[in-house]
Amino acid sequence: MVNQTSSTKHYLFNASVIVAALGYFVDIYDLILFSTVRVSSLQDLGVTDPAAVLEQGILLLNMQMAGMLIGGVAWGMLGDKRGRLSVLFGSIFIYSVANIANGFISSIPMYAFLRFVAGVGLAGELGAGITLVSEVLPKEKRGYGTMVVATVGISGAILAGFVGEYFGWRPAYFIGGGLGLLLLLLRIGVFESGMFNQVKAQSVTRGNFLSLFTNKKRFWKYLKCILIGIPIWYVVGILVTLSPEFGAAMGITEPVSAARAVSSCYLGLIFGDLVSGYLSQRFKSRRSIVLAFIMMTAVFVSIYLLGSNLSLNVFYLLCIALGFASGYWAVFVTIAAEQFGTNIRATVTTTVPNFVRGAVVPLSFAFTYIKDVMGLIPGALALGIVCVAIAVVSILSLEETYAKDLDYLEPVS
């Protein structure tokens, strides 16, 4: 037992794990920072009308999301063509420079452009990091590595909330960019995946994104990898983001703070990712743990939406519980990495989480339509049932990938 524990600790302190985890920490910091300083930064730039603040904020969010969707595909293909390390450090460099530049902006068009650039950079780090960690660690231990990457990374949300609130929006952007550039100094001692180097030496097709759509079996497997993550962003993007509206509909007399609800949810996500990652290793199963967390999500969504006469503190505790239940992000991204061959693994692992994040847009449109027909809470409940059902069917029809040998090629043309 002692030897096994020491061995596990050794793998968790692998340089690739540390750099990928810290890179994702800065990645999440930037994502949450923008949400934290959106209003104050726009007001400082002369946008004072509440309706205009909302309109310009949506524009900036859409520009960032567009950058992430485009960047997800581009970085994923580069990860399979040029290497995991080039994407890992290239993405960190781009979003760090964009962050620093955000601190100097003086106009909305400049702000929008830099959020797009930051989105492109933010899209690459997680996929490259998870792919690298999955390939350099022993197959029986890689779940611990990806667990650390996600758990440490998501905790960046806590720092973003603190810095954004107490340091002002321009210094907060400088801090984020500076952290990213400092992280690049840690690249010494991080080596490229041996699996990728072997494939690179062969004459095989690498990083062909379109090949995911030219084979029916491969396409459905890819789509299922995306769909199992949908409940996570249903919780974060709908239930928690719109928590003030849900709180009022539930009859909570005190106003619900969206910022505190989001912070509570991310606190739950940190512990959820830690526990789900550990359990997937302990029980040697990705599928069963993800299924259990999806069902747990369904339970807490029901409690959240059907609760009545709740106090404000109980409401925030429910946000923590929702975050914990939907905290299977690490295992979800690991499953995506383990489903495909080395020659297309980075493409899949980078695009899947970005498409899940992008799913917030159609989820929001669907929720807007459903709530107008059914009402706020019944509409949210109906949408939640659909999201959970799709995720359950998807995870049950994917193969178990715990300890799967990843040293193989995907037959693509």
Residue 105: what pLDDT? 92
> What pLDDT tens digit does each residue of the chain (413 aa) get?
334 444 455 556 678 888 899 999 999 998 888 878 888 888 899 988 877 887 888 788 888 888 999 999 999 999 999 999 899 899 999 999 999 999 999 999 999 999 999 999 999 999 999 999 999 998 888 999 999 999 999 999 888 888 887 888 999 999 999 999 998 887 766 788 888 888 888 888 898 999 999 999 999 999 999 999 999 999 998 898 888 889 988 888 888 888 788 889 999 999 999 999 999 999 999 999 999 999 999 999 999 999 878 899 999 999 999 999 999 998 999 999 999 999 999 999 999 999 998 888 888 889 988 988 999 999 999 999 999 999 999 999 999 999 899 999 988 76
Burial 191-208 (b: 16+ CB within 10 A, else e): ebbebbeebbeeeeebbb
The pLDDT value recorded for residue 188 is 64
User: Looking up tokens 């807490």, which residue turns up?
Assistant: 300
Domain covering 1-186 assigned CATH 1.20.1250.20 in the classification: yes
pLDDT value for 203: 81
pTM over 0.85: yes
CB count, 10 Å around CB of 353?
24
Q: Which residue has the tokens 């990728």?
A: 196
CB neighbourhood size of 171 (10 A): 13
Q: Is residue 212 within 8 Å of 222, Cβ to Cβ?
A: yes
CA–CA separation, 247 and 134 (whole Å): 41
pLDDT in the model for residue 12: 63
What integer pLDDT is reported at residue 9 of this predicted model? 53
What are the backbone dihedrals phi and psi of residue 132, each rounded to the nearest 5 degrees, phi first?
-60, -50
CA distance 303 to 316: 13
Residue type, 208: N
Closest to 34 (Cα-Cα) out of 24, 42, 46: 42
Gap between the terminal Cα atoms of the chain = 46
Domain limits, the chain: 1-186, 211-413
| Confidence (pLDDT) at 292 | 98
pLDDT at 413: 61
Q: What is the topology classification, in CATH, of domain 211-413?
A: Growth Hormone; Chain: A; (1.20.1250)
